[in-house]
């Protein structure tokens, strides 16, 4: 998936206009090494037996956004998916205000490339909208990251297999070319890697067996997640923040890009400086 550059924060428009239609003709989905997956699940209540996954594209586009302070928007392929309708169908019309609905952003670069060393991980951590209040994830070596990367890669591969594995339909539904609804009890489901997941995928009841936070890599759907790039033997780097609006628009704000209120303050300061200069010249 390609993201288009426009300006100061990334608006990933995931809303669609068509109701959820299960697909039995699709098989594989688009997934490549280095892609980011948005995972949404309910901790209880309506929809707690389903995960919702969206491929947000290559990490390279988010790294570039961080460097150049640019805006990114999703291309028409992902915009044509029916994410808003899917979320309402799965989790109820009140999904955007549910405190038990959580989201995460994860991925890995298993092989070296995209300016990243092999076994690089990408993982979100709960934060506050408009401010990086999360603590960095623990730094580790290639050997430390290896089993975690393996789990992240297995989740991505499972996403890429879509509805069809070994010629048989599985409890998953494709909604567009980049999104997937899967049963939480399914093999290598998103939920299986989170706290409360399987002993193999979430050993020690820890997300992916590594992200030891009570929330794991998740946060409430109406809050925010900082995104960390974790290169082996290098301090994890926060590159920006993800939020999800009530209309299912996902926003990525690159690190270092001021919030809208900050832009207003800056503009006001510049205008005031101009007034003071004119007054001084008039004297």
Number of domains in the chain: 1
Six-digit token pair at 221?
A: 């759907």
* DSSP H or E run through 246: none
How far apart are alpha carbons 164 and 4 in whole angstroms?
31
Six-digit token pair at 101?
A: 């609905």
Q: What is the pLDDT of residues 124-156, one digit of tens each?
A: 999 999 888 999 999 999 999 999 999 999 999
How far apart are alpha carbons 254 and 98 in whole angstroms?
26
Query: What are the residue ranges of helices labelled H in the chain?
Result: 59-68, 76-79, 83-91, 142-161, 260-282
pTM exceeds cut of 0.85: no
Q: What is the pLDDT of residues 81-91, one digit of tens each?
A: 578 888 999 99
More confident site: 134 or 162: 134
Q: What is the pLDDT of residues 171-194, one digit of tens each?
A: 567 666 678 889 898 888 999 999
Band the pLDDT of 70: cuts 50, 70, 90.
low
Mean pLDDT of 222-233: 97
Q: What is the pLDDT of residues 203-214, one digit of tens each?
A: 999 999 999 999
Mean pLDDT of 37-48: 96
Which residues form the domain of 72? Answer: 3-282
How far apart are alpha carbons 257 and 133 in whole angstroms?
16
Six-digit token pair at 255?
A: 């690190």
* Residue 16 pLDDT > 70: no
Six-digit token pair at 259?
A: 């919030």
């Amino acid at each position: 998936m390609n993201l288009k550059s426009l300006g100061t924060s990334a608006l990933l428009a995931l809303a669609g206009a068509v109701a959820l239609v299960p697909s039995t003709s699709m098989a594989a989905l688009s997934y490549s090494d280095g892609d980011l997956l948005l995972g949404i699940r309910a901790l209880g209540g309506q929809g707690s037996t389903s995960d919702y996954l969206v491929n947000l594209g290559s990490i390279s586009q988010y790294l570039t956004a961080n460097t150049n302070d640019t805006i990114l928007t999703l291309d028409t392929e992902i915009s044509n998916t029916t994410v808003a309708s899917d979320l309402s169908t799965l989790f109820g019309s009140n999904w955007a205000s549910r405190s038990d609905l959580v989201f995460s952003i994860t991925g890995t670069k298993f092989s070296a490339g995209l300016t990243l060393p092999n076994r690089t991980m990408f993982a979100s951590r709960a934060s506050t909208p408009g401010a990086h209040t999360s603590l960095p994830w623990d730094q580790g070596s290639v050997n430390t990251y290896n089993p975690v990367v393996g789990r992240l890669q297995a989740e991505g591969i499972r996403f890429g297999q879509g509805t069809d594995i070994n010629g048989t339909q599985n409890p998953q539904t494709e909604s567009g070319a980049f999104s997937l609804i899967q049963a939480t009890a399914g093999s290598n489901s998103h939920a299986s890697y989170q706290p409360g997941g399987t002993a193999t995928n979430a050993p020690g009841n820890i997300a992916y067996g590594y992200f030891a936070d009570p929330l794991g890599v998740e946060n409430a759907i109406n809050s925010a997640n900082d995104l960390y790039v974790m290169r082996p033997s290098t301090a994890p780097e926060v590159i920006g923040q993800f939020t999800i609006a009530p209309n299912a628009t996902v926003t990525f704000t690159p690190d270092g890009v001021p919030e809208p209120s900050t832009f207003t303050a800056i503009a006001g300061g510049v205008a005031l400086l101009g007034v003071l200069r004119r007054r001084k010249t008039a004297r």
